[in-house]
Amino acid sequence: MTLPLADIRVLAVEQFGAGPWATLQLADLGAEVIKVEDPVSGGDVGRYVPPFNDGEDSLFFETFNRNKRSISLDLRHADGARVLHDLVGAVDVVFSNLRGDQPLRLGLTYGQLKEFNSRIVCCSLSGFGMTGPRATEGGYDYVMQGLAGWMSLTGGPEAPPTKSGLSLVDLSGGYVAAIAIMAGLWQARRDDVGCDCDISLFETALAELCYVGTWAASSDYEPPRRANSAHPSIVPFQNFATADGWVVVACAKEKFWLKLCDVVGRPDLAEDTRFADFAARDRNRDELLPILDGLFAQRATAEWLELLGGAGIPNVRVNNVPVALRDPQAVARAAVVEVEHPRLGRVKEVATPLRVGPEPKPLALAPRRGEHTDAVLAELCGYSAETTAALRDAGAFGPGM
């Protein structure tokens, strides 16, 4: 089987979330991803994230690093830098997720590596990018959600600024970096010249403000936080409390609103001029939503799902995560995969959503720290066992490696 990216090799100076998430997308599509782990800091910090961790193994690390290889290499060591240069000649991409000033300091930019491989694509995913007044600052998902305005948009009207329940800036930054890498590779193969890709979590978070960003940039508009996770302008498009739970109802088209009026037994609402169209319902949401709240509270969730679904109105039950992973659609699509781990036992994780070609790449465990150092250097650089041993003795791979 030839996977889509089977001819791509990535050297990844990465750790924690956003960076490993970026290269995971490539690895799941068949790319050979070689993690460069810093021996001075004990490798990828994700190895130690609780809960469900044992020594240098954790479910967090498994989630981000399946289907990868690991080498230990001290890039600050003179011999380590020389090994890097030899590796660059045998790979297509050098990726890093460090502070914006670190790629240049560690010799990971195109200008510094092109003499070893003129087609190399160098991608940096940092908090704020490689230029600007914040380039030397570290960046984390929580920080970006606050700085980019996300927290001001999330939560109820009386709630304090609130982050998303997931690390969406990290995950989105990873996707953006993966897209940038693919664009850089396409250009390198077309033009025979590599490039730098300078991706930042901050700009990713700003870009994902999307239409809200356009509204704010054009008119300083600040969308108010709405109760029950309501859409900022489309009504009704939100959660409703039922007699025994919650449902999401999404009337994103006028036809759904008209059908909803019949389903809830209030066809008169469709004739009410206060609720005649999107704009009218938005203006008069404070009058409409209490009516709908009272109606939805009268029936159980299962009844509403049947009624709404029968009418073709987009709706779902509000699940917790375990229930979501057992949804019949998730089961039918094999969205949860598993592998046996020698220390963590049976590990179940969410499969890649990237379905390209007939079959996904078989799931492989995340690597042990430095597990593939000798093999990678022999395969990619042609190092003999004696050469590798000498580098190890010199400290290129760090103490104890």
Tokens coding 8: 């791509």
Query: In the prediction, which pLDDT does 1 show?
Result: 61
Contact in structure between 231 and 314 (CB atoms under 8 Å): no
* Annotated active-site residue in 28, 38, 44, 170: 170
Q: Does the CA dihedral 225-229-231-235 come out positive or negative?
A: negative
Topology of domain 227-318 in CATH is formyl-coa transferase, domain 3 (3.30.1540)
Residue owning tokens 């300091």 = 105
Over the chain (401 residues), the average pLDDT of each successive run of 10 is 92 97 97 97 96 95 97 97 98 98 98 98 98 95 96 94 95 98 98 98 98 96 92 96 98 98 98 97 97 98 98 97 96 94 92 89 92 98 97 93 78
Whether 170 is a known active-site residue: answer: yes
- Report d(CA 97, CA 144) in Å as an integer: 15
Query: In the prediction, which pLDDT does 362 show?
Result: 85
Q: How many other C-beta atoms are found inside a 10 Å radius of the C-beta of residue 42?
A: 13
Query: In the prediction, which pLDDT does 401 show?
Result: 78
The domain 9-208+340-394: what is its CATH number?
Answer: 3.40.50.10540
Q: For 357, how many CA atoms within 13 A lie in the half-sphere containing its CB?
A: 13
Q: Where are the domains of the chain?
A: 9-208+340-394, 227-318
Tokens coding 208: 């994902």
In sequence order, which residues have a C-beta less than 8 Å from that of residue 143 and are 6 or more positions away? 127
To which H or E segment does residue 296 belong? helix 285-296
pTM listed for this prediction: 0.93
